[in-house]
Chain A
Amino acid sequence: MTEHVLEVRDLVKHFPVRRGLLRRTVGTVKAVDGVSFGLDRGRTLGLVGESGSGKSTLARVLVGIETPTSGQVLLDGQDVARLSRAGRKQLRRDVQMVFQDPYTALNPRMSVGEIVGEPFAIHRVRPPGGRAAAVGELLELVGLDPGHVSRYPHQFSGGQRQRIGIARALALRPRILVCDEPVSALDVSVQGQVVNLLQDLQDELGLSYLFVAHDLGVVRHIAHEVAVMYLGRVVERGPSGAVYDGALHPYTQALLSAAPVPDPSVRLAGPSAADAPGGGAIVLEGDPPSPTDPPAGCPFHTRCWLAPLLGGGRRIPEPCAATRPALEPPRADGGHRTATHDDGEQHGHEHARDEHTGGGPAHLAACHFARPLPAPERVGS
């Protein structure tokens, strides 16, 4: 068993909600609530979820902007929290971040050379050949003209700015890049260029990516493994092909179904979509619940489309509302699993253990009734 480059064990990040004159804590936002995964060298883990799912908070914990409430982040098997000051500084060099919005991610009052060279200044590193040469090489690496070091961010287009952000992230030769929605603010025709650049860099430098996105298409394209988050938890995780072609969790199935596909025969509305057997596109009702007060039992049961069907009409099956499902492989017959007895307090300890069952990454889902969606139900005819 090889060691993961990055491993996260039962990570929790809660934010206190303070109100009033005395700033009393009146609640907790459970942004990340028990997440575990491992990331290998040269691989990409796609992290998919809607706003409020905690995917961005998780990314910020990993690059050290936020400190976890509990749980462990292991870098090469070493617990980051136990590192010395110097060790933590090294961690900053190993894990770098690429941001979503290319317009706010670069300081408008610094030149490109200053931006890309800043990591060297912060860490007081003198790259071989000098800082100016290193900056030039970085710009070339991401496909920009090294002659443009003295220009300012506003003179570049969105895609070019994202390249500058990538060059900055690569300056200290990190091994892991946390990409927080790196292409979602870009034009469609430019998105592909940046995705391809990231893939080339991965091949060339052996980088590992944690690729956070809400665009399922991009994630499928770039990720080897996918984790789907809902309300601070991973509800499904597995090899990208397995998750996309045989999603086990009803939330993942709804997500995949709701993403508009560029095919005019798949209507989002109208008789062909709504009345078709199987419901055509699965459209979830309502909004995700607040992470301050997640539902008891399965966090998804309030919006689940599958639960009422299983309960024979309006009723929701008892385990869904009562027990929190663990992230584990589905039962072979797809039927109801024995409920795991974790009661919110100590949930997730199982999660850490189910890491290495078998050789490759297993396909896991946190649902009592996890089963693949029968193919004919997906598109009405």
Chain B
Amino acid sequence: MSGDTSAAAASSAADHDGVVGPGTPLLEVRDLAVEFRTPEGNVRAVDGLSYRVAAGRTLAVVGESGSGKSVSSLAVMGLLPDTARVTHGEVLLAGEDLLSLSRREHRRRCGERIAMVFQDALAALNPVHTVGYQLTEALRRRRGMSRRDAGRRAVELLDLVGVPNARGRVKDYPHQFSGGMRQRVMIATALALDPDVLIADEPTTALDVTVQAQVLRLLAEIQAERRMGLVLITHDLGVVAGMADDVTVMYAGRVVERAPVRDTFGAPAHPYTRALLHSIPSSGAGGDGEGRRLPVIPGRPPSPAALPTGCAFHPRCDTARDVCRTDPPPLEAVAVDRASACHFAAEVLASHDVPPPVEHEEAAHD
């Protein structure tokens, strides 16, 4: 185990030279709450989400469907649908609260400094315009670039994201690109205005494994090069482990655990995180179709419209006790840089019963 941590530490130190610490956040979300209006009444999709992203750092927001991870990023971008509204909290971009601005101003500010990459590039790109047009549109409108300069910049951007023959392909339409290339094009459009923060919502979920690796590597390289803050929204703990510095685990709209990635994966401080890590079928260990039951989390994520009382995770939790059914646990510090919303966080943290997730990889490693 110690070998891993030192390697991870070394790699993360190399990633950001130790210059920018977590003390200077580019983007900070404070106590964000989002509600949806439904015929059955108001449903709270996000409740008390806080996080901060510093330059050159990657924050992963992890959760299952209905955990509120995607809704929260829409709120940050000012892109919530009409049925939803932010009821509480602040979104600070370099110290300025975006939520206090008008919606129009909010989006304008975001367009300049925060960019977003979506899961489905085919839906996110306009099918009737060439990718060149979509790349130059923002440059010309926001930056007042001439058509020629913007065109040159578009080719540069496509080059940057590794689209082969960029000069020839600016005239192509989105459907003429493969899935992986389309995702690259979307990343290029996101980078057009040199954003400080990139929010990537399940950027590789729709891609094949080998293409996913390419796109993730691209994202990490660009981020390191430009010292962007990256918010990675995903359900894939493998991607989190490979990409992120810090992780925020969400369950039923609330943050259940917040920690540096290597700490969480080594010793989770919330039963949900622990169970989630357990339940990943690994391509490294076990298997052969024999001896075989996967450890699972019983039940399923609750609907935001009908949350259990007390701790929302208690019906599925293996360490739940009476207090969990009645009192919602607050998010409290359990160690340096770490917080957990569990009444028995210290106990969970102390129980080092998590088997190393990938045994043979480590054997090869040591």
Question: Shortest Cβ distance from A322 into chain B, in angstroms?
Answer: 25
Q: A192-B297, A218-B281, A375-B364 are in contact. Are A260 and B220 (CB under 8 A)?
A: no
Query: Which residues, 105 to 157 on A, are CB-close (under 8 Å) to B?
Result: 157
Q: Please report the C-alpha to C-alpha distance between residue A158 and residue B7 in the assembled complex, in whole angstroms.
A: 39
Please list 5 pairs of residues, one from A and one from B, whose beta carbons are closer than 8 Å in the complex, sorted by A's number.
Answer: A189-B64, A240-B287, A241-B287, A262-B357, A379-B361
- The range of chain B's interface size is 35 or more
Does B365 sit at the interface, judged by CB under 8 A?
yes
Contact yes or no, B179 A259, CB < 8 A: no
In the complex, which residues of chain B have a beta carbon less than 8 angstroms from the beta carbon of A224?
288-290
* A359 interface residue per 8 A CB criterion: no
> Is B181 an interface position by the 8 A CB rule?
yes
User: Cβ of A270 and Cβ of B15 under 8 Å apart?
Assistant: yes
Cβ–Cβ < 8 Å partners of A20 in chain B: none
* CB-based nearest B residue for A281: B213
A195: interface (CB < 8 Å): yes
Q: Is B226 an interface residue (CB 8 A)?
A: no
Closest to B178 in A: A287
Please give me the residue from chain B that is nearest to A241 by CB atom: B288
Q: A196-B296, A239-B288, A255-B210 are in contact. Are A268 and B279 (CB under 8 A)?
A: no
Given A159-B300, A189-B297, A287-B181, A214 and B281 contact (CB-CB distance below 8 Å): no
B15, B164, B208, most chain A CB atoms within 10 A: B208
Distance A44 CA – B290 CA, assembled complex (angstroms): 10
Q: Whole-angstrom distance between the alpha carbons of A192 and B360 in the complex?
A: 22
The answer to whether A351 has its CB under 8 Å from any CB of chain B is no
Q: Are A217 and B361 in contact (CB-based, < 8 A)?
A: no
Cβ of A216 within 8 Å of any chain B Cβ, yes or no, is: yes
* B175 proximal to A (CB < 8 A): no
| Residues on B with beta carbons closer than 8 Å to the beta carbon of A51 | 179, 208
For chain B residues 57-86, which have a beta carbon within 8 Å of chain A? 64-65
Q: A378 near B364 (CB under 8 angstroms)?
A: yes
B217 within 8 A of A: yes
Contacts of B358 in A (CB 8 A): 261-263, 266
Q: Indicate if A190 sits at the interface (CB-CB under 8 A).
A: yes
Cβ contacts under 8 Å, A99 to chain B? none
A206 to B157, CA, bound (A): 55
CB neighbours of B364 from chain A (8 A): 375-376, 378-379
Once the chains bind, are A220 and B213 in contact (CB under 8 Å)? no
Residues of B with C-beta under 8 A to A381: 7, 365
Please give the distance in Å from A242's CB to the nearest CB on chain B: 9
* CB pair A264 B14 closer than 8 Å: no
Interface residues of A in 60-119 (CB under 8 A from B): none
B238 interfacial contact with A, CB 8 Å: yes
Measured between C-beta atoms, what is the minimum distance from A307 to chain B in Å?
16
Residue from the list A187, A192, A265 in contact with B235, Cβ < 8 A:
A187
Q: Is the CB of A192 within 8 A of B242?
A: no
Q: Which 9 A-B pairs have the closest CB atoms?
A: A260-B238, A269-B220, A268-B242, A265-B4, A192-B296, A50-B208, A220-B287, A258-B213, A216-B283
Contacts of B286 in A (CB 8 A): 220-221
Contact pattern, B 1-20, Cβ under 8 Å of A = 1, otherwise 0: 00111011011001100000
| B275 nearest CB neighbor, chain A only | A189
Contact A188 B64, CB 8 Å, known A195-B294, A287-B180: yes
Contact B293 A196 (CB under 8 A): yes
**Which chain A residue shows the least CB distance to B245?**
A264
* Chain A residues closer than 8 Å to B43, beta-carbon distance: none
B224 contact set on A, CB distance < 8 A: 269-270
- B276 proximity list for chain A (CB < 8 A): 188-189
**Chain B residues positioned under 8 Å from A57 (CB to CB):** none
Residues of A within 8 A of B275 (CB): 189
| Cβ-defined partner of B237 (8 Å) among A159, A188, A255, A265 | A188
Interface size class of A (residues with CB under 8 A): 35 or more
Residues of A near B164 (CB, < 8 A) are 286
B357 contacts A263, C-beta separation under 8 Å: yes
Q: Does A59 lie at the interface of the complex (its beta carbon under 8 Å from any beta carbon of B)?
A: no
Q: Which residue of B lies closest to A286 (CB)?
A: B164
Q: A189-B296, A261-B282, A272-B11 are in contact. Are A245 and B265 (CB under 8 A)?
A: no
Chain B residues near A273 (CB, 8 Å)? 11, 217
Q: Is the CB of A189 within 8 A of B11?
A: no
A17 within 8 A of B: no
Minimal beta-carbon separation of A171 from chain B (angstroms):
24
Q: Which residues from B are CB-within-8-Å of A262?
A: 237-238, 240-241, 265, 277, 280, 282, 357-358
Check B104 for interface membership: any CB of A closer than 8 A: no
Q: Assuming A272-B10, A376-B364, is B242 touching A240 (CB within 8 A)? A: no
A158: chain B residues at CB < 8 Å are 65
Known A-B contacts A258-B209, A265-B5; the reply to A157 vs B300 at CB < 8 A is yes
The answer, yes or no, to whether A283 is at the interface (CB within 8 Å) is yes
Contacts of B236 in A (CB 8 A): 188, 260
Establish whether residues B209 and A255, one from each chain, have CB atoms under 8 Å apart when the complex forms.
yes
For B7, list chain A residues within 8 Å (CB). 265, 272, 381
- Given contacts A219-B283, A223-B287, A264-B241, 10 further A-B pairs with CB under 8 A are A195-B281, A222-B289, A239-B288, A260-B239, A261-B283, A265-B365, A271-B14, A287-B211, A288-B208, A375-B364
Q: Mark A172-208, 1 if CB is under 8 A from B, else 0.
A: 0000000000000001111111011001000000000
What B residues does A219 contact at CB under 8 A? 283
| A217 and B293 alpha carbons, distance in the complex (Å) | 13
User: Contact between B280 and A217 (Cβ–Cβ < 8 Å)?
Assistant: yes
Closest residue of A by beta carbon distance from B4: A265
The verdict on B221 contacting chain A, using a C-beta distance below 8 Å, is yes
Return the contact of B8 from the options A159, A193, A264 (Cβ within 8 A). A264
A281 CA to B209 CA, complexed, in Å? 12
A193 neighbours in B (Cβ, 8 Å): 296, 298
Q: Is A215 an interface residue (CB 8 A)?
A: yes
- Provide the bound-state CA to CA distance between A271 and B217, in Å: 11
Chain A residue nearest to B285 (CB atoms) is A220
Residues of A within 8 A of B217 (CB): 268-269, 273-274, 283
